[in-house]
């Protein structure tokens, strides 16, 4: 039910993002989704890739600080109000979204949103109870 | 365990009587043989026969690093050149080096005191001493080397650098004692980890670290990463070299300064007044047995305190506290005195922070700014911005709370702060004053 995301610490200086994508490209790793959070000094690059463990090890080898986090991928109707319907459910159950970003590919005509929750397991059961479709990691990595 | 039990445990009255006799002798020698001292004593209206007790020493003028530079290279020597058997010099990064000369007897004394220091640190005959201090004009390598041989240990004179080979030799030769700078030991630990070498598998038992200030927190880190007992040693070429003072392994609480050869004092670095026991100030040393270049009230510029409290090890010699910086490394930031070692102690106290840091001081308009760069280790890293920002704020708050100075903490990528195989550079001061 959960999807593995890798996060990388990046100092705010030129060429870092290019360096990371080059390392991943050379290792044959495909980036499936990404989000970059930044402050004036540093950023955190969050990625969903086809092979998280390999990505982590090649980046660590090059001296990057990397960790893995579990996130949830949810299918969202690609219609006006689609995202809102999910967020309202979460709000009613008082589940906080730490951050979220959209997946590039669509799934059966629906959009896919990646969520990082404060309470991942509770969020999953709430969303399932409301009949939202949660995507398996394996399916996502190969989409 | 002692190397020279009689002198190391001499009762205080006998020790002070010996110091007085030796002090009288050295004052007479420098007055007769060193024009610099003859002039400075005359200017202070002092004659060696005026010395009535040890306390009279505080009436004498200081000798400074600048006096040594002005006497470059040999003008402070008290022995004729034909009696000098060795010459060492400081690195001289800020101008001409300071030069010191040793007679045969000076080398013998140094060798004995260094052997004493090894024993105090828990080393003994049969140890394999891996001496990674630099050999050359710097006193570290040769000082430790001769002391180790005097002890009857086996010395590996590996000197500094080529860390991969150091680790291989430590592994293959079965080194039991390591001597180097504390920052280099941590650098070795990192390299060993990268090479897949586990210090727990090595025979290393004790590390004797000096030549740069370090902290109690760094000791914990070294002891844990290298799986050894880490001992602080103190020395400076002007006074002798390594082995002026050392911690005993029994207490690891303050460094015994060998008072039968050196008289320590603590002064206020601004007023020059002697400070009471226990107060933090600049260490001043008078060498009372040296022949080549005896120094009277030499201002070491090292900041420490002094205690005469009896020690559990049985040595009667006073102890100086771990150095908390150099009086000239002291940063004055918006009027607050800050030693880099104080910041280091705070950083290492925060779980997960590596002891690699850089302080950047700048001035914006009329305001000094302090930026503390800290490496983000895997243990600290989070995928959430707020966690990392909380870490920065914690560093800033602890520094503000403990030292009273406002700073900006900046998180940087691992291994981006310069590593050093010698003395670590911790401060970049960009202020144009």
- Nearest residue to A71 (alpha-carbon basis) of A20, A10, A131, A112: A112
Q: Is-contact A117 A72, C-beta < 8 A?
A: yes
Last-in-domain residue among B297, B328, B359: B328
| Report field, pTM of the whole predicted structure over 0.90 | no
Residues B359 and B324 in one domain: no
- Whether the CB of B49 is below 8 Å from some CB of chain A: the reply is no
Domains of chain A: 3-70 (3.30.2130.10), 71-141 (3.30.2130.10)
Count Cα atoms within 13 angstroms, Cβ side, for B408.
Answer: 11
- Nearest residue to B143 (alpha-carbon basis) of B114, B185, B173: B114
Q: Which residue has the tokens 């120094």?
A: B295
Residue B427: the pLDDT is: 86
The Cα–Cα gap between B271 and B259 comes to 25
Asked if the Cβ–Cβ distance from A7 to B382 is below 8 Å, we say yes
- Nearest residue to A63 (alpha-carbon basis) of B378, B198, B189, B164: B378
Of A5, A11, A65, the CB nearest to B381: A65
Residues B324 and B341 in one domain: no
CATH number of domain containing B154: 3.40.50.12780
Residue B206: the pLDDT is: 98
Residues B26 and B79 in one domain: yes
CA distance B390 to chain A (A): 13
CA distance B318 to chain A (A): 46
Q: Is-contact B341 B215, C-beta < 8 A?
A: yes
Total structural domains within chain B? 2
Residues B12 and B26 in one domain: yes
Of B385, B410, B414, the CB nearest to A65: B414
Cβ contacts of A63 on chain B, cutoff 8 Å: 413-415
Residues B196 and B343 in one domain: no
pLDDT category at B93 given cuts 50, 70, 90 is: low
Residues B132-150 have pLDDT tens digits of 999 999 999 999 999 999 9
The Cα–Cα gap between B228 and B18 comes to 37
SS3 B403: helix
Residue B269: the pLDDT is: 85
The Cα–Cα gap between B188 and B191 comes to 5
Residues B218 and B286 in one domain: yes
Q: Which residue has the tokens 């000098």?
A: B84
Residues B226 and B250 in one domain: yes
B415: nearest CA partner in chain A? A63
Residues B336 and B192 in one domain: no
Residues B215 and B70 in one domain: yes
Residue B402: the pLDDT is: 85
Q: Provide the sign of the torsion angle of the four alpha carbons B26, B32, B36, B40, taken in this order.
A: positive
Residues spanned by the domain of B340: 331-429
pLDDT at A89 over 80: yes
Residues B54 and B133 in one domain: yes
Instruction: Collect all residues with Cβ–Cβ distance below 8 Å to B246 and sequence separation of at least 6.
Output: B116, B117, B120, B121, B208, B231, B232, B233, B234, B255, B256
The Cα–Cα gap between B355 and B23 comes to 42
Residues B338 and B318 in one domain: no
CA distance B379 to chain A (A): 9
CATH number of domain containing B398: 3.30.300.30
Cα-Cα-Cα-Cα torsion B168, B420, B132, B261, nearest 10 degrees, comes to: -160
Q: Does the complex come out with an ipTM higher than 0.90?
A: no
Q: Cβ–Cβ contacts within 10 Å for residue A114, how many?
A: 23
Q: Cβ–Cβ contacts within 10 Å for residue B394, how many?
A: 13
Asked if the Cβ–Cβ distance from B385 to A41 is below 8 Å, we say no
Last-in-domain residue among B276, B302, B328: B328
Asked if the Cβ–Cβ distance from A67 to B388 is below 8 Å, we say no
Residues B312 and B344 in one domain: no
Q: Is-contact B202 B178, C-beta < 8 A?
A: no
Residues B1-60 have pLDDT tens digits of 999 999 999 999 999 999 999 999 999 999 999 999 999 999 999 999 999 999 999 999
Averaged pLDDT score across all residues of chain A = 90
pLDDT at B166 over 60: yes
The Cα–Cα gap between B201 and B178 comes to 15
Asked if the Cβ–Cβ distance from B412 to A11 is below 8 Å, we say yes
Residues B283-312 have pLDDT tens digits of 999 999 999 999 999 999 999 999 999 999
The Cα–Cα gap between B420 and B99 comes to 25
Last-in-domain residue among B328, B348, B379: B328
């Amino acid at each position: 039910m959960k999807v593995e995301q890798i996060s990388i610490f990046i100092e705010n200086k030129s060429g870092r993002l290019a360096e990371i994508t080059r390392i991943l490209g050379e290792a044959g790793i495909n980036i499936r989704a990404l989000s970059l959070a930044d402050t004036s000094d540093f950023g955190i690059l969050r990625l969903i890739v086809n092979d998280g463990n390999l990505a982590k090890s090649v980046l660590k080898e090059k001296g990057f600080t990397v960790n893995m986090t579990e996130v949830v991928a949810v299918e969202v109707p690609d219609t006006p109000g689609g995202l809102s319907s999910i967020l309202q459910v979460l709000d009613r159950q008082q589940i906080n979204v730490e951050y979220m970003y959209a997946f590039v590919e669509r799934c059966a005509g629906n959009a896919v949103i990646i969520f990082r929750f404060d309470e991942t397991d509770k969020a999953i059961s709430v969303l399932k109870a409301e009949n939202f479709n949660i995507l398996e990691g394996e399916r996502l990595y190969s989409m | 365990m002692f190397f020279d039990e009689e002198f190391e445990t001499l009762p205080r009255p006998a020790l002070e009587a010996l110091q007085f006799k030796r002090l009288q002798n050295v004052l007479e020698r420098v007055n007769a043989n060193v024009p610099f001292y003859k002039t400075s004593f005359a200017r202070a209206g002092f004659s060696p026969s005026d010395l009535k007790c040890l306390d009279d020493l505080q009436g004498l003028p200081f000798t400074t690093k600048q006096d040594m530079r002005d006497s470059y290279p040999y003008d402070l020597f008290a022995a004729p050149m034909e009696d000098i058997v060795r010459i060492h010099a400081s690195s001289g990064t800020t101008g001409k080096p300071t030069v010191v000369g040793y007679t045969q007897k000076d080398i013998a004394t140094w060798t004995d005191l260094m052997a004493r220091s090894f024993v105090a640190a828990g080393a003994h005959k049969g140890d394999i001493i891996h001496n990674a201090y630099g050999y050359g004009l710097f006193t570290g390598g040769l000082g430790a080397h001769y002391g180790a041989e005097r002890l009857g240990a086996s010395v590996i004179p590996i000197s500094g650098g080529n860390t991969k080979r150091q680790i291989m030799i430590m592994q293959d030769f079965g080194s039991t004692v390591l001597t180097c700078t504390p920052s280099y030991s941590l650098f070795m630990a990192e390299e060993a980890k990268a090479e897949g070498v586990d210090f727990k598998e090595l025979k290393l038992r004790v590390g004797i670290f000096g030549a740069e200030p370090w902290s109690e927190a760094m000791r914990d880190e070294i002891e844990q990463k290298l799986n050894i007992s880490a001992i602080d040693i103190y020395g400076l070429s002007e006074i002798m070299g390594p082995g002026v003072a050392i911690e005993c392994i029994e207490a690891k609480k303050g460094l015994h300064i060998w008072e039968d050869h050196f008289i320590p004092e603590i002064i206020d670095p601004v007023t020059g007044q002697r400070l009471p026991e226990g107060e933090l100030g600049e260490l001043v040393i008078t060498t009372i047995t040296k022949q080549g270049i005896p120094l009277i009230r030499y201002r070491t510029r090292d900041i420490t305190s002094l205690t005469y409290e009896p020690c559990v090890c049985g040595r009667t010699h006073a102890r100086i506290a771990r150095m908390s910086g150099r009086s000239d490394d002291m940063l004055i930031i918006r009027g607050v005195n800050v030693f880099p070692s104080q910041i280091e102690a705070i950083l290492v106290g925060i779980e997960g922070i590596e002891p690699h840091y850089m302080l950047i001081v700048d001035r914006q308009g009329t305001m000094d700014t302090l930026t503390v760069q800290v490496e983000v280790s895997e243990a600290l890293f989070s995928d959430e911005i707020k966690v990392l920002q909380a870490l920065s704020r914690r560093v800033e708050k602890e520094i503000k709370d403990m030292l009273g100075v406002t700073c900006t903490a900046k998180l940087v990528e691992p291994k981006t702060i310069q590593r050093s195989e010698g003395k670590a550079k911790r401060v970049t001061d960009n202020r144009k004053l």
